[in-house]
């Protein structure tokens, strides 16, 4: 059983290392400034900046930086989410010292070339416009914005107006305000030794200074509501969101199991009732999510206009009848799927580094595999039904997206 070791640098950077007997290493650097902290009128700044910081760093231009990573055999990425910006590295152990040096250049010494601002903006605008060709993804964004009606619910891609208003000075200010060590968490998993990692990270990041000037907005959930979004799509896409227990709640594993009962494979309720028995749609899903201090579940489906009302009605009925109706075989299937997913995820070094970063951000600590397994195995049919009686699906936010939609007669949510 591996252990996770921690070191806190004077500048506020937290380093977590899991030593594994593997020939590979993975690193995640989580910065707490996400797109929800983008200034009003500059929505999308964090997303564009995530691209711009990779357009040259240190003494290397864009091409030289990419070639340096490629020469080392390292994959890297920068992603701006609502709550945080995450930089990732993954490759063989031997060149890790050099690869983490390149990452330090991106974080501390990005070139931020003014000539690259417009290409980065155009890429962001194309991605935003491309949502019209991805109605399922667009539905999730629309649902998220209504479930979280404050700045926290913004689309991380930004808005057209916000992207067009960006300039070089605004992006440089954004970098100065968010790429800071205070509150940042770096996780490293793989065939590296803790002491060596501490020394190398301290050498590269020890002089890093600054504190993010913008804190993520509070996670505020909107009042239950229904809204239709007009779209010239062939199908109607349906989404429901409702509150669940937060990620640090003792019953969190019960929430995960409830989602498995609803949408965990071909024997799940939504798959059986919506697709198999009635043929209402090809794909229907429910999944529980978590942000700091709040948990929620989203259920989505896409179908024809003619079948959309019945599809929503059946989905809602399955959600509402969940409390008190779970059977032992459903819990057993869900347990097997959750345990299998956990084991498979732990086989990936990158996934382990990601889980450490996510756990520390959401929980303030990192769970061991044994703790996760025990939490899953502790869920029984009786305890899950009791949990659902205490925390039933309710207070729904519902969004439909398509050419038209008729609310099912008699359906009350």
Tokens standing for residue 126: 């194309």
- Its domain, for residue 354, covers 225-402
- Vertex 238: Cα angle to 234 and 239 (nearest 5): 145
Instruction: Quick: pLDDT tens for 298-316.
Output: 999 999 999 999 999 999 9
Q: Examine residue 281 and state whether it is found in any structural domain, yes or no.
A: yes
pTM over 0.75: yes
Q: What is the pLDDT of residue 1?
A: 63
At 325, which CATH number? 3.30.830.10
Q: Examine residue 213 and state whether it is found in any structural domain, yes or no.
A: no
- One domain, residues 261 and 363: yes
- One domain, residues 229 and 286: yes
**What are the C-alpha distances in Å from 80 to residues 24, 50, 74?**
25, 6, 20
Report the distance separating Cα 157 and Cα 35, nearest Å: 8
- One domain, residues 10 and 153: yes
- One domain, residues 170 and 118: yes
- One domain, residues 16 and 117: yes
Q: Examine residue 119 and state whether it is found in any structural domain, yes or no.
A: yes
> What is the residue-level pLDDT of the chain in tens, covering all 413 positions?
678 999 999 999 999 999 999 999 999 999 988 899 999 999 999 999 999 999 999 999 999 999 999 999 999 999 999 999 999 999 999 999 999 999 999 999 999 999 999 999 999 999 999 999 999 999 999 999 999 998 889 999 999 999 999 999 999 999 999 999 999 999 999 999 999 999 999 999 999 998 777 677 778 898 899 999 999 998 999 999 999 999 999 999 999 999 999 998 888 999 999 999 999 998 899 999 999 999 999 999 999 999 999 999 999 999 999 999 999 999 999 999 999 999 999 899 999 999 999 999 999 999 999 999 999 999 999 999 999 999 999 999 999 999 999 999 988 88
- One domain, residues 88 and 231: no
Q: Examine residue 233 and state whether it is found in any structural domain, yes or no.
A: yes
Q: Which residues pair with 92 in a beta bridge?
A: 24
For residues 184 and 32, is the Cβ–Cβ distance under 8 A? yes
Distant-in-sequence, close-in-space partners of 173: CB < 8 Å, separation ≥ 6:
none
Q: What is the pLDDT of residue 210?
A: 81
Q: Examine residue 123 and state whether it is found in any structural domain, yes or no.
A: yes
Q: Examine residue 407 and state whether it is found in any structural domain, yes or no.
A: no
Q: Examine residue 183 and state whether it is found in any structural domain, yes or no.
A: yes
Residue after which a domain boundary falls, among 205, 239, 270: 205
Instruction: Quick: pLDDT tens for 99-115.
Output: 999 999 999 999 999 99
What is the domain count for the chain? 2
- One domain, residues 97 and 138: yes
Estimate to the nearest angstrom the gap between the alpha carbon of 170 and the chain centroid. 26
Distant-in-sequence, close-in-space partners of 162: CB < 8 Å, separation ≥ 6:
38, 41, 42, 43, 44, 45
- One domain, residues 158 and 239: no
Residue after which a domain boundary falls, among 156, 177, 205: 205
Neighbouring C-beta atoms of residue 205, cutoff 10 Å: 21
- One domain, residues 138 and 102: yes
Residue after which a domain boundary falls, among 148, 170, 205: 205
- One domain, residues 390 and 241: yes
- One domain, residues 350 and 229: yes
Q: Examine residue 358 and state whether it is found in any structural domain, yes or no.
A: yes
Q: Where are the beta strands (DSSP E) in 149-222?
A: 185-190
Query: If you average pLDDT over every residue of the chain, what do you get?
Result: 95
Report the distance separating Cα 385 and Cα 186, nearest Å: 39
Report the distance separating Cα 116 and Cα 154, nearest Å: 25
Instruction: Quick: pLDDT tens for 225-255.
Output: 999 999 999 899 999 999 999 999 999 999 9
- One domain, residues 251 and 389: yes
């Amino acid at each position: 059983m591996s252990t996770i070791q921690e070191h806190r640098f004077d500048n506020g950077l937290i380093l977590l290392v899991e030593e594994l007997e593997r020939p590979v290493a993975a690193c995640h650097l989580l910065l707490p400034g996400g797109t929800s902290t983008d200034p009003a009128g500059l929505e999308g700044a964090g997303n564009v900046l995530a691209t711009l910081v990779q357009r040259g760093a240190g003494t290397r231009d864009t091409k030289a930086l990419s070639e340096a990573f490629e020469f080392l055999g390292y994959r890297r990425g920068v992603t701006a989410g609502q709550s945080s910006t995450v930089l990732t590295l993954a490759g063989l152990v031997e060149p890790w010292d050099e690869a983490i040096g390149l990452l330090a250049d991106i974080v501390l010494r990005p070139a931020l070339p003014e000539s690259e601002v417009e290409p980065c903006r155009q890429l962001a605008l194309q991605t935003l416009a491309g949502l019209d060709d991805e109605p399922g993804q667009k539905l999730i964004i629309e649902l998220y914005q209504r479930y979280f009606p404050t700045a926290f619910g913004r689309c991380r891609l930004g808005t057209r107006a916000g992207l067009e208003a960006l300039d070089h000075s605004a992006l440089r200010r954004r970098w100065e305000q968010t790429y800071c060590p205070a509150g940042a968490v770096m996780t490293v998993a793989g065939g590296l030794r803790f002491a060596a990692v501490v020394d190398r990270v301290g050498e590269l990041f020890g002089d890093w200074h600054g504190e993010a000037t913008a804190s993520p907005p509070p996670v505020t959930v909107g009042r239950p509501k229904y809204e239709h979004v007009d779209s010239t799509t062939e199908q109607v896409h349906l989404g429901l969101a409702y509150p669940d227990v937060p990620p640090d709640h003792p019953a969190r594993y019960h929430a995960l199991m409830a989602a498995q009962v609803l949408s965990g494979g071909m024997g799940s309720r939504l798959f059986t009732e919506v697709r198999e028995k009635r043929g209402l749609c090809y794909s229907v899903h429910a999944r529980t999510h978590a942000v700091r201090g709040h948990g929620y579940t989203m259920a989505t489906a896409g179908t024809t206009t003619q079948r959309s009302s019945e599809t929503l009605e059946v989905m809602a009925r399955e959600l509402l009848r969940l409390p008190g109706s779970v059977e032992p075989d459903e819990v057993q299937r869900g347990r097997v799927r959750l345990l299998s997913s956990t084991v498979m995820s732990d086989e990936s070094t990158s996934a382990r580094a990601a889980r450490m970063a996510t756990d520390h951000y959401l929980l303030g600590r990192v769970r061991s595999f044994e703790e996760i397994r025990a939490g899953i195995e502790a869920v029984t049919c009786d305890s899950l039904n009791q949990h659902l009686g205490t925390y039933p699906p309710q207070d729904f936010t519902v969004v439909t997206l398509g050419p038209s939609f008729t609310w099912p007669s008699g359906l009350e949510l």
